[in-house]
């Protein structure tokens, strides 16, 4: 079984399902081939489940449970991948080559590995005659990498379809968890993190206008000077630090396992909150958990080196902690950059709500991950600073949780969206075990 599971993952990696914001660049014939391969490789899942396509290429597989009146459970994923520049790779990015226990290829970690592990687990269980109490939905998107806010988002359109049928989920499980070195969190060993919320996303365009002209006679302040001054003010005068609900939940779990003075401080945060927040702000990884962030990512001036810019533009990317809102951040930005700089919203999504950690689904995830991966010191909730498709299911599920089923992924997470993306084959097989356990236990919860 393990050999066929690896072969199936290799076949998935060898099918280059690259998504682009410009849909005309997407080869949908490749996406069709990928879905046909899934049907051929997982015959029990496709024959026993009710299968639908949404937005052409997103997949909904419904496995009916015995308790028709119980809220179902959803396992999400996406099978599209980001574009590749082959020059930096040591292997063919879509060759699925195996070297020294690793399978290399675009999508191994993000996130065909998780999609295929879920399907392998379901296929095995159905082949063994397993039955489920709660119904199971497998929801696999085809354009997650371009954002769930686009009008043709497979995830958002699937959500709309299921909502129109009155479906409410007991729990939704998706990507977005992490395995981290506990040292940065005050814990010895590795820590598994289950995402219980996501930060909001906001792209702002800061712009300043002038008449322009020849660069040999510059004004006192150019348009670019004004706009960069505003953008630099945003980076230097950072947003306030605070413990949002998700980060508070994380440290409540971590604190009892900390040592010495650190344990005392985090156990009594009401006394030491300013000190702790300032310490967390010193690291980019932990600062992102306790404040809304903003950073310059793009800039635009004139089209020639000797011409003054009539319009200077800087794009600023913000990630909003729970408790902040797009309107609040826009208002604060306008106050910071001053009247000379225009502030326009390009894209904005609010932070999600925070899923409960006392929900049985979270407890099952925590227990199952800890049981299968004893190398982890503990499993804790956390705030996801990126964005996943699962954000669209907040509001129609008791809890939305994001996991990382591959325990050694912390060694290789730098390859995600980068060169030489890879997954340890033993990790992949272990991930199948985890999904077997979760499919059964969450169905019976």
Q: Where does 67-217 show beta strands of DSSP type E? A: 73-78, 98-99, 102-104, 136-141, 171-174, 178-181, 190-198, 200-209, 213-214
Q: Which of 319, 349, 379 is the last residue of a domain?
A: 349
DSSP class of 242: -
pLDDT of residue 311: 94
Residues 420 and 319 in one domain: no
Range of the domain at 230: 200-349
What are the phi and psi torsion angles at 111 (to 5°)?
Answer: -140, 35
pTM of this prediction exceeds 0.85: yes
Q: Which of 18, 66, 57 is nearest to 35 (CA)?
A: 57
On whether residue 60 sits in a domain, the answer given is yes
Q: Which of 349, 377, 412 is the last residue of a domain?
A: 349
Residues 88 and 131 in one domain: yes
Residues 289 and 345 in one domain: yes
Q: Which tokens go with 227?
A: 């706009």
On whether residue 408 sits in a domain, the answer given is yes
pLDDT of residue 190: 93
For tokens 């997407």, name the residue: 26
Q: Which of 328, 349, 370 is the last residue of a domain?
A: 349
Instruction: Count up the domains in the chain and report the number.
Output: 2
pLDDT of residue 1: 59
On whether residue 107 sits in a domain, the answer given is yes
Evaluate whether 417 touches 393 at the Cβ level (below 8 Å). Answer: no
* Neighbouring C-alpha atoms within 13 Å toward the C-beta of 42: 30
Residues 104 and 235 in one domain: no
What is the mean pLDDT for each group of 10 consecutive residues in the chain (445 residues)? 92 98 96 98 98 98 96 98 94 97 97 98 97 97 92 96 98 95 88 97 95 89 93 93 95 92 90 93 93 96 93 96 97 94 95 97 97 94 94 97 91 93 96 97 96
Residues 129 and 211 in one domain: no
What are the phi and psi torsion angles at 129 (to 5°)?
Answer: 85, 15
Assign residue 107 the CATH number of its domain: 3.40.630.10
Separation between Cα atoms, residue 50 and residue 63, nearest integer Å: 7
pLDDT of residue 255: 94
On whether residue 371 sits in a domain, the answer given is no
Residues 141 and 204 in one domain: no
On whether residue 240 sits in a domain, the answer given is yes
On whether residue 115 sits in a domain, the answer given is yes
Residues 170 and 231 in one domain: no
Tell me the β-bridge partners of 349. Answer: 201
Residues 15 and 145 in one domain: yes
Residues 154 and 216 in one domain: no
**Each residue of 348-363: b (16+ CB within 10 Å) or e?**
bbbbbbbbebebebbe
What three-state secondary structure class fits 236? Answer: helix
Residues 261 and 150 in one domain: no
Q: How far is CA 111 from CA 12, 115, 119, 297, 388, in A?
A: 11, 6, 13, 25, 11
Q: Which of 59, 31, 198, 56 is nearest to 139 (CA)?
A: 59
On whether residue 292 sits in a domain, the answer given is yes
Evaluate whether 445 touches 170 at the Cβ level (below 8 Å). Answer: yes
* Neighbouring C-alpha atoms within 13 Å toward the C-beta of 222: 20
Neighbour tally for 33: CB within 10 Å: 15
């Amino acid at each position: 079984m393990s050999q066929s599971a690896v072969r199936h993952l290799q076949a998935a990696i060898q099918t280059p399902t690259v998504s682009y914001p410009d849909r005309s660049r997407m080869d949908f014939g490749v996406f069709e081939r990928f879905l046909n391969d899934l049907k051929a490789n997982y015959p029990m899942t496709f024959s026993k489940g009710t299968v639908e396509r949404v937005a052409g290429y997103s997949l909904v597989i419904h496995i009916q449970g015995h308790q028709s009146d119980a809220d179902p459970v959803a396992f999400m994923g996406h099978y599209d991948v980001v574009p590749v520049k082959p020059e930096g790779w040591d292997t063919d990015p879509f060759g699925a080559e195996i070297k020294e226990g690793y399978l290399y290829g675009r999508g191994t970690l993000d996130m065909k590995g998780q999609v295929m592990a879920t399907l392998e687990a379901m296929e095995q269980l159905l082949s063994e005659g397993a039955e489920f109490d709660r119904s199971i939905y497998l929801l696999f998107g085809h354009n997650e990498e371009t954002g769930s806010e686009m009008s043709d988002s497979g995830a958002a359109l699937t959500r709309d379809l299921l909502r129109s049928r009155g479906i409410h989920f007991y729990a939704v499980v998706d990507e977005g968890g992490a395995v981290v070195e506990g040292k940065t969190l005050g814990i010895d060993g590795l820590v598994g993190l289950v995402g219980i919320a996501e930060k909001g996303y906001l792209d702002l365009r800061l712009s300043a206008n002038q008449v322009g002209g020849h660069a040999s006679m510059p004004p006192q302040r150019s348009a670019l000077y004004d706009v960069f001054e505003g953008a630099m003010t945003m980076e230097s005068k950072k947003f306030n630090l605070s413990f949002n609900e998700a980060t508070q939940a994380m440290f409540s779990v971590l604190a009892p396992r900390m040592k010495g003075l650190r344990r005392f401080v985090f156990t009594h945060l009401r006394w030491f909150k300013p000190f702790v927040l300032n310490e967390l702000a010193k690291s980019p990884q932990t600062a992102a958990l306790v404040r809304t962030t903003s950073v310059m990512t793009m800039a635009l001036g004139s089209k020639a080196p000797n011409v003054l810019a009539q319009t200077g533009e800087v794009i600023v990317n913000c990630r909003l902690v729970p408790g902040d809102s797009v309107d609040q951040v826009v208002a604060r930005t306008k106050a910071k950059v001053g009247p000379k700089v225009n502030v326009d919203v390009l894209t904005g999504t609010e932070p999600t709500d925070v899923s409960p950690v006392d929900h049985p689904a979270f407890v099952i995830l925590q227990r199952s991950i800890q049981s299968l991966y004893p190398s982890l010191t503990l499993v804790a909730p956390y705030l996801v600073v990126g964005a996943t498709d699962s954000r669209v299911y907040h509001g129609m599920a008791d809890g939305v949780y994001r996991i990382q089923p591959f325990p050694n992924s912390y060694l290789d997470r730098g390859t995600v969206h980068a060169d030489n993306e890879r997954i340890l084959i033993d990790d992949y097989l272990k991930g199948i075990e985890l999904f077997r356990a979760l499919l059964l236990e969450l169905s019976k919860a």
